[in-house]
Amino acid sequence: MNTGLELIGQMTSHSESDLVPLREISRQLSGVTIHIRDHTNLTAQWKAKFKDFATKLYTDHGADYFKADSPLDLPLDEKMGDFQNRQLITFAVQIGCAYGVVDCVDAASAKFEAYKSDPEAFPLSPDFKSTVLNSVMSSDENMNITKENWGFLWSKYLQSKQATEKEVIYYSLGLIQDEETLKQFSLYCLDKTLVRTSDALYIMGRSIAQTAMGANVSLHFMMEKWASLNQKFDSALFAVDAYISGVLSNFATPDKLNNDRGFLRR
């Protein structure tokens, strides 16, 4: 473990601008985050340790395109390297917001507020949409506002006819740090008039379960509603398997995992 942490430290200490190694660095950071996220203070220290890396990445590659008054458009694949450059820009913005870089988070909030006031006049760029929504839904500064924003996005999920847009929205909805909202979201998944059957298990097993709070909500919901879930999704066993895997993959300690396995054997 210590060797792995030292390697990550070495990777982030170098000035890197190529997308592939940057994605690998992000994967390594995210992997550790999952294992320590039950420990609030440790997680905060971990993010603080690599915030300089995220800040430099955002400043060097994403800020000029993401800030509210930016006159720049993303590269449009008109010449060699444009696709990779666009991916690097969106990745830099994603990491900046995920690690709480203030300028990035503030820009995401401003874009969301404009979108919320008039979605047609201020649409979110497809390249930045998931980052903006994830940033807003991850906010715990004012839970009443976050819950209001959740309600707005839930209405957008219900209105949307596009599978890809629905996926972006439901992954962001699972990030809210409010147990009652997450429990209600889980219940919505059992109502096929609200949530498509093809989405339901992935919402419960992937979206809701992507944070420590959500993983616990999803696990308890699975245990409580196991009979109903088996009956409702008996013709989609592959999706049930993905649901179970999604929930259990978020528990890093042997004791927790053994308890969960014990339940599944019954």
The reported pLDDT for the residue numbered 5 is: 46
The reported pLDDT for the residue numbered 261 is: 54
The reported pLDDT for the residue numbered 1 is: 43
CA angle 124, 205, 169 (to 5 degrees): 10
Which pair of tokens denotes residue 183?
Answer: 């429990």
Answer positive or negative: Cα dihedral of 249, 252, 257, 259: negative
Which pair of tokens denotes residue 149?
Answer: 């924003």
The reported pLDDT for the residue numbered 4 is: 45
- What is the distance between the alpha carbons of residues 217 and 209, in angstroms, rounded to a whole number? 8
Residue 69 DSSP label: T
The reported pLDDT for the residue numbered 179 is: 96
The reported pLDDT for the residue numbered 248 is: 72
- What is the distance between the alpha carbons of residues 26 and 33, in angstroms, rounded to a whole number? 10
Residue 200 DSSP label: H
Type and span of the H or E element at 132: helix 129-138
pLDDT mean for each 10 residues of the chain (266 residues):
48 56 69 65 81 92 90 78 86 91 96 96 94 93 95 97 95 95 96 91 90 89 85 68 70 56 53
Q: How far is CA 20 from CA 59, 88, 124, 146, 256, in A?
A: 19, 9, 26, 34, 34
Amino acid letter, 155: S
Which pair of tokens denotes residue 98?
Answer: 């995920």
- What is the distance between the alpha carbons of residues 92 and 172, in angstroms, rounded to a whole number? 18
Residue 58 CB burial class (10 angstroms; 0-12, 13-18, ≥19): buried
Greatest Cα-to-Cα distance within the chain, rounded to the nearest angstrom: 60
Q: What is the dihedral of CA 206, 210, 215, 221, to 10 degrees?
A: -40
The reported pLDDT for the residue numbered 247 is: 74
- What is the distance between the alpha carbons of residues 176 and 45, in angstroms, rounded to a whole number? 21
- What is the distance between the alpha carbons of residues 212 and 265, in angstroms, rounded to a whole number? 24
